[in-house]
Structure 1
Amino acid sequence: MAPSSQSLWIETFLEAQAAELGASPNTLAAYMRDLSAFTDWAKRKHVTFETATQAQIEDFLLFCDAEGLAQATRARRLSALKQLFRFAFEEGWRDSNPAVQIRGPGRSKRLPKTLEVTEVDALLAAARETGRTPQDRLRNTCLMELLYATGMRVTELVSLPVSAARGNPQMLLVRGKGDKERMVPLSPPAREALAVWLSVRDKAEEEKRTKGKHASLFLFPSRGALGHVTRNWFHTLIKDLAITAGVPPEKVTPHTLRHAFATHLLANGADLRVIQTLLGHADLSTTEIYTHVLDERLHELVTTHHPLAREGESRSDSGTRKSSGSTSSDGQ
């Protein structure tokens, strides 16, 4: 029997996604936003999840397009609806799936933004100088070193349990999307930053215990409701680091550090399947985007620096210049 209200449809669907597929809180929040956007539109059209037709869902997508929503946003909203209606059909709430034949706008194949090695070095140096207290600066340094050394997603990073860092580990156990675990190796600078931060963090937590407070289970504790520093807090921090480092802030997000990790590994000869494993990608095709990033950078390198790539210069011009240079040298 179908739920009695639109909110119950969404709530039941989200509970199933969390219980059966291990969907992360961020994924569930995205589903909630996208499905709520549909119900807001549908209410004005006197449409419900139980009565919606293929044509009405397509009308909603046209509405999203007219609102100027990005292609990726429209594709994500359709994906959320497809998942919900498939679930409703399988549960017997509907006798048909109205979204099954709808083709979405797809996703544009934009190459991910990344950072040069020098820019990453500048950000890491800025982390060592940014923070109100020495403890803050050590925490910020550890966060940045771990992020660049492992390519973790920001949620994986900020929610790391302190137990994962015990024993001066060569590798960290990371719990990623779908509650899947993977091992990521640590670079020497990351291990050093982790050991220093862990010592300071443990001392602070011990002081809390002596005052009758509970010690945190997280590597990066916070007094907030989650018990650890948040994604939004870290996003703000990394923008501040960009300003301090002299890197354009619009280039720098936690995810561009993840892209830099993958791109720099690939540029230095790492195997694509190894990078897939380290990033926690379920599909190799997701990782293959980094080969295109590298191809584009190599093309830019050639067109910028190769003498025959300079505008208006021919092979004979290059040869003439080389020849005149040799003559001058011989005459000296």
Structure 2
Amino acid sequence: MRELVDEFLYYLVVERGLAENTLASYNSDLQQFLQYLESSKIKSFRDVNHGLLVAYLVKMQREGRAPATICQHMAAIRALYQFLLRERLVDNDPTVNLESPRQAKKLPQVLTLEEVERLLSQPRVDTPAGLRDKAMLELLYATGLRVSELIALNVDQVNLEGEFVRCLGKGAKERVVPMGQMACFYVRTYIENGRGKLIKKKAETALFVNQHGRRLSRQGCWKIIKGYARAANLNKEITPHTLRHSFATHLLENGADLRAVQELLGHADIGTTQIYTHLTRKKVREVYDRTHPRA
């Protein structure tokens, strides 16, 4: 069974082009599933039935796993069985009609314009690292890139004259995103005055590098953002996606078309983008209640 899981993960890399973080998540979930099967004396995926999967789901609930975590586990198992069925390695799919726990839709945390300004004003631009951080924050808010997309950027993917970046999103899909004059100014300043002092090898292609001159990691970028959020006294739960959520919400609040925002964010399904409309409706209601004389 472990060999079949390895084949499935290889398929996800080669055929589906899944991102490294997503692949790691699938691997972790399926390794836990394998441990459960082994403890249940199951020696083949053919022997797994609907009842066994329900028992696994109940086990995770009793362990206090969050509904989102359980849904993620079940999604990995469903994808595995779709692969096994397609390759004729099993005769049926026991995940059919298996209901995952319902998740309460959690609205993403967003910053106000004033909070964005406070966060973006924190880096000191008189040092190479400060210039890098300023360029990173400005670029994140200007483009709505995922942090994983940001750190994957190479210098040649940034077009300073055209003021846009080319990035690879989920499923290795490329998209072009405009970045605006302010972000363009700081990215150019960082490239001209900061990056050269941080890199150790001229052959380095990464746009954003760490103190060792190598490509900045997702964890490194997240740590930097958290540090500036504390310095700005932002009393909100800041995540790697906070600037992305703020980017989308502020665009919609100012009249941007939902389809355009979907394309900018790189969402395959517009339903994913629609969560931001709930935030803008909430904002409209607050403004109405505060300003209408008969509210």
TM class by shorter chain equals: over 0.9
Distance 1:50 1:183 in 2: 45
Match of 1:9 in 2: 4
3-state secondary structure, aligned to 2:176: strand
Shift, 1:184, TM fit: 0.5
Corresponding letter in the other structure for 2:204: S
**Higher mean C-alpha displacement, 292-301 vs 8-17:** 292-301
Task: Give the aligned residue type for 1:215.
Answer: A
Greater gyration radius? 1
Matches of 2:142 and 2:252, distance apart in 1 = 14
Aligned residue identity for 1:295 = R
Q: Secondary structure at the match of 1:254?
A: coil
Cα drift, residue 214 of structure 1: 5.3
Asked if 1:165 is matched to 2:158, the reply is: yes
Q: 1:168 is paired with a residue of what secondary structure?
A: coil
Residue of structure 2 in register with 1:234 after alignment: 221
2:133 is aligned to 140
Structure 2 match to 1:80: 76
- In the alignment, structure 1 residue 186 sits paired with structure 2 residue 173: no
1:266 and 2:263 aligned: no
Partner of 2:207: 219
The CA deviation string for residues 138-189 of structure 1, in whole angstroms up to 9 with x for no partner, is 0000000000000000000011011112553411111100000111001111
Contact 1:169 1:191 in 2 (8 A): no
Q: Which residue of the partner structure matches residue 276 of structure 2?
A: 290
2:275 partner letter: I
Structure 2: segments with no counterpart, 5+ residues: none
**How many residues are matched?**
294
Q: Could you give the per-residue CA deviations for residues 275-304 of structure 1, whole angstroms, max 9, x where no partner exists?
A: 000000001111111111111122233334
> Match of 2:62?
66
Correspondence for 1:255: 241
**Residue in 1 aligned with 2:169?**
176
TM (norm. structure 1) is 0.83
The residue type paired with residue 291 of structure 1 is: T
The CA deviation at 1:224 is 6.9
User: Is 1:149–1:187's contact at 8 Å kept on the other side of the alignment?
Assistant: yes
Deviation by residue 1:34-93 (Cα, 9 ceiling, x = unmatched): 111211222221124342111101110111111111111111111100000111111111
**How far apart, CA to CA, are the structure 2 residues paired with 1:44 and 1:300?**
53
| CA separation of 1:214 and 1:188: change in aligned 2, threshold 3 A | closer
Q: Percent identity?
A: 36
Give the secondary structure class of the aligned counterpart of 1:219.
Answer: coil
In 2, the alpha carbon distance for the partners of 1:16 and 1:235 equals 30
The Cα offsets for residues 191-244 of structure 1, whole Å up to 9 and x where unpaired, read as 000100111345337x84xxxx4521110124779x411111111111110111
Report the CA distance between 1:106 and its aligned residue.
Answer: 3.9
List per-residue Cα deviations over 1:223-273 (Å, max 9, x = no partner).
779x4111111111111101111112x422220110000000001111110
Matches of 1:151 and 1:189 in 2, distance apart? Answer: 14
Q: Is the 8 A contact 1:172 1:185 kept in 2?
A: yes
Say if 2:100 is the partner of 1:114: no
Helix, strand or coil for the counterpart of 2:122? helix
Is contact 2:119-2:228 (8 Å) kept? yes
Cα pair 2:127 2:194 within 8 Å, conserved: no
Secondary structure, in 3 states, of the residue corresponding to 2:91? coil
Check conservation: 1:113, 1:251, Cα contact below 8 A.
yes
TM-score (norm 2): 0.93
Task: Please point out which of 14, 37, 41 is paired with 1:42.
Answer: 37
Q: What are the residue-to-residue correspondences of 1:305-320 with 2, within 5 Å?
A: 305-309=291-295
RMSD of aligned Cα (Å):
2.0
SS in structure 2 at match of 1:235: helix
